[in-house]
Amino acid sequence: MKKIVAFIFLVVFTISLKAQLPLIPKPNSIKPSVGYFVINKSTGLFSDKVASFEMKYLNDELFLRTGIKLHSSNSKSNSIKLIIHKNVDSLSDLYHLEVSKNGITISANNNAGVFYGIQTLLQLINFDKKQSLKIQYVEIDDTPRYSWRGMHLDVSRHFFPKNFIKKYIDCIAMYKMNVFHWHLTDDQGWRIEIKKYPKLTEVGAWRKGSMVGAYSEQKFDTFQYGGFYTQDDIREIVNYATLRHVTIVPEIEMPGHSLAALSAYPEFSCSGKPVNVGVSWGVENNVYCPSDETFKFLENVLSEVMELFPSKYIHIGGDEVPKNEWVISPLCKDVIRRENLKDEHELQSYFIKRIEKFVNSKGRQIIGWDEILEGGLAPNAAVMSWRGIEGGIAAAKQKHNVVMTPGGYCYFDHYQGNPQNEPLAIGGYTTVEKTYSYEPTPDTLTVDESKYILGAQGNVWTEYISTTKHLEYMSVPRMTALAEVLWSKKEQRNYTDFVSRLTLHFKLLDSLKINYSKSIYELTTKSIANENNNGLKLVITTPFDTTAIRYTTDGSVPNFKSLKYVKPLIINESKMVKAAYFENGKMKGNPVERKFNLSLSTGKKIELVNQPSEYYKGNGAFTLVDGVNGDPLKHGFNWLGWSGRNMDAVIDLGKTESFSEINLTAVNKPESWIYLPKQILVYISNDGVDFIKVATQSEEVIQKSNGKIKIGCGNIQSRYVKVVAECLGKIAEGMPGAGENAWLFIDEISINK
């Protein structure tokens, strides 16, 4: 009998040892062992003198979560000890955490390491106050992968109060991130007090209204809106962040995105004309003029900024600078001549280099958006790569430091779930899974070049985010996914494992009153070709229990008694599939909907001459014939996107078919640089080799179509159909993204009788 009991005990224990520890980011090495240490009122707390803040922090956080306040004691047993090793390489933020029968020890080389060990310990504590504070015996060794583990916040488009900024920093610190990029100025508001130029906040911090709803609707309210941080506020926040091992990198935008500053001091623009703080979102033509007076002004501003922020890097913006004003300005012509510059692009580069010289003279470095590469990079500048990763790659090859923040993975203002269920967002589709799949070091870099990739950062632009609740919802949990990407070893990354730990965090986030999104429960669907390219199969997946998926095909919302998903669904007629994930009889997250419209081309073989962008490659070429029309609001999902290139697709209908019409959809969203195609051409062939043109659709008709494009082609009989949608090419002056390659977004080519 005793033997059986011992055996059962061993089995139960082995199983529980294998259970997930709710740690995010996942530590490098975790060795659990049998037994628990219990924190109680007589547990002592001891720390080296240098870690006195960390000791207080731990005690306060423990109290918050458990109601227990520990007393200071250095007893050998029943204590928590924080130890900083002396005489070792203090640059490395590693820590060692040991929970054993005598208590808990966190040791590290520096305060940051101790702080990270504390974060791990806090995550090991059961978040439910009523539970006993049992912590499983474990030994953890851990160290970060990247040195820049950042989160950004735009406080210009919408202003967020000081106490919320602290909560945001707490959240950053909780997931062992260490940079807060604070976007303090933009067209729609200047948010930092500058003593020498009081009008920056008296005038520049207030706008006469805000955009309401989607950009395309062009609706506005007329409420005065604004706010700013005083220098005392800033000092308080910098101190708060520093203690939590978070460096604040302030951003002062130049030469573009500066309308708010110019509304206060119009003399620093080229025209000198009075302007108002921006009310609409987008890119403004009014930018700083490169006069000596402007440089003096910016140097004075930056001097005060550098006094307030001790960070090595100062972000000077540099993105989206329309050259319209510079092209017509006599002063710019003079500067171009005087400095021997080729054009306005080199003038932008001159602008940034001159600012860099000043910032360097104060012992600091500049970092700017990847546009600062254009016309030649300033000698010591670091680059933040946002328009994809190419800017980052180019900068690393030139031996410049890089922070990666490509839109498709790191923009947390994008949709994270089906837009039908989400609050209005700027567009895009960046799920938690997509963020989690991000690899910051491009494989095209050599080992040496890779050293310049400092890390990555999640960006939270706030055009469409006006409340702290909404802001939390957009940031969490995507930031936890990025935190793991940036901290944990690459080989350790596993999405299913990550989400199972993340669900354990929801309780903690609830108790901290953080309003997180539950989009991880939203099912993923993928259409694949059925046998012999006859119709489709719909594969539905979840990182959770696949047997808990239910679906309907009659348009009704699924419940836990609906059909159980057991294998891919065969789709051979037009219908609506709705599916959801259930736990204990309750739907988790939102249901997904796939509305199938079958045509001759659905599920057929398709090949592309030009591959779409790495970021918008959907489910490959098959996306175009998967039976589901892309949602124009969700241009990152179920769409293929090309930058500056044509869509050129060949569909094999399998046998000769008769048809008379081709339908295809394109996104029209100039504010995101996505433009309708210039022209569409249709060719046919019976051997797939020699094609003849049978139809075109003109620019005029396409422009009027609002994206739903029909191409009539008479009565045709053919097996192969080639459809070419011509990309607009370079965007014209005066349009959003002028001078850049236009994006072309296409979905679903349906060929109809």
Name the residues annotated as catalytic. 186, 257, 320
Q: Cis peptide leading into 25, omega within 30 of 0?
A: yes
Residue numbers 375-404 binding ligand TNX by CB under 6 A: 386
Strand-strand pairing, 640-643 and 575-583: unpaired
**Pick 186 or 449: Cβ nearer ligand TNX:** 186
Q: How far apart are CA 453 and CA 399, in angstroms?
A: 10
Q: Which residues inside 280-339 make contact with ligand TNX, applying CB under 6 A? A: 319-320
Q: Which two tokens stand for residue 302?
A: 């930056």
- Minimum CB distance to ligand TNX smaller for 414 or for 550: 414
CB 447 within 8 A of CB 396: no
Scan residues 199-258 and list those touching ligand TNX (CB under 6 A).
Answer: none
Tokens standing for residue 463: 């055009």
When asked if residue 426 is in the footprint of ligand TNX (CB under 6 A), the reply is: yes
| Maximum CA extent, the chain | 97
Distance separating alpha carbons of residues 376 and 352, to the nearest angstrom? 10
Calpha distance 383→402 (Å, rounded): 5
Residues 669-698 touching ligand TNX, rule: CB under 6 A, are none
CA distance 581 to 525: 12
The answer to whether the bond into 477 is cis (omega within 30° of 0) is: yes
**Shortest Cβ 369–ligand TNX spacing (Å):** 4
* Residue 360: Cβ-neighbour burial (10 angstroms; 0-12, 13-18, 19+): middle
Residue with tokens 């031996």: 399
Identified binder of ligand TNX from the candidate list 37, 206, 268, 369, rule CB under 6 A: 369
Separation between Cα atoms, residue 147 and residue 94, nearest integer Å: 12
d(CA 580, CA 592): 6
141 Cα distance to chain centroid: 29
In what helix (H) or strand (E) does residue 111 lie, and over which residues does it extend? helix 111-124
Any contact of residue 637 with ligand TNX (CB under 6 A)? no
- Cβ nearer to ligand TNX, comparing 413 with 422: 413
Q: CA-CA distance, 123 to 143, in Å (whole number)?
A: 16
HSE at residue 299, side-chain half, CA atoms within 13 A, is 18
Say whether residue 413 binds ligand TNX (CB under 6 A).
yes
Size of the site for ligand TNX (CB under 6 A): 9
Ramachandran assignment for 376, one of left (phi > 0), alpha (psi -120 to 50 degrees), beta (any other)? left
Strands 103-108 and 95-100: antiparallel
Interface mask (CB under 6 A) for ligand TNX, residues 454-493, using x and -? Answer: -------x-x------------------------------
Give the integer Cα–Cα distance in Å for 433 and 436. 5
Sign of the torsion angle spanned by Cα atoms 241, 242, 244, 246? positive
Site string for ligand TNX, 53-72 (x = CB under 6 A): --------------------
> Token pair of 140, please?
């953890």
Residue among 463 and 631 whose Cβ is closer to ligand TNX? 463
Q: Are 634 and 425 in contact (CB under 8 A)?
A: no
C-alpha 467/C-alpha 471 separation (Å) is 6
Q: Which is nearer to ligand TNX, 320 or 449 (CB)?
A: 320
Distance of closest approach, residue 383 Cβ to ligand TNX, in angstroms:
12
**Can you tell me the distance from the alpha carbon of 744 to that of 646, in angstroms, rounded to the nearest whole number?**
8
Q: Taking CB under 6 A as the rule, does residue 415 contact ligand TNX?
A: no
> Can you tell me which of 116, 228, 411, 521 binds ligand TNX, judged by CB under 6 A?
411
Select from 35, 141, 38 the least CA-distant residue to 95: 141
Judged by beta carbon, residue 464 or residue 659, the one nearer ligand TNX is 464
Measure the CA–CA gap between 693 and 339, rounded to whole angstroms: 52
Q: What minimum distance in Å lies between the beta carbon of 415 and ligand TNX?
A: 12
For residue 524, give every residue at least 6 positions away whose Cβ sits within 8 Å of its Cβ, in sequence order, or none: 433, 540, 541, 542, 592
Beta-bridge partners for 751: 662
Per-residue CA distances from 389 to 116, 179, 416, 453, 482 (Å) = 29, 20, 21, 11, 16
Whether 617 and 640 have beta carbons less than 8 Å apart is answered as yes
- Contact between 562 and 554 (Cβ < 8 Å): no
With binding defined as CB under 6 A, does residue 743 bind ligand TNX?
Answer: no
Report d(CA 263, CA 533) in Å as an integer.
Answer: 61
Whole-angstrom Cα distance, residue 543 to residue 556? Answer: 24
Residues forming the site for ligand TNX (CB under 6 A): 319-320, 369, 386, 411, 413, 426, 461, 463
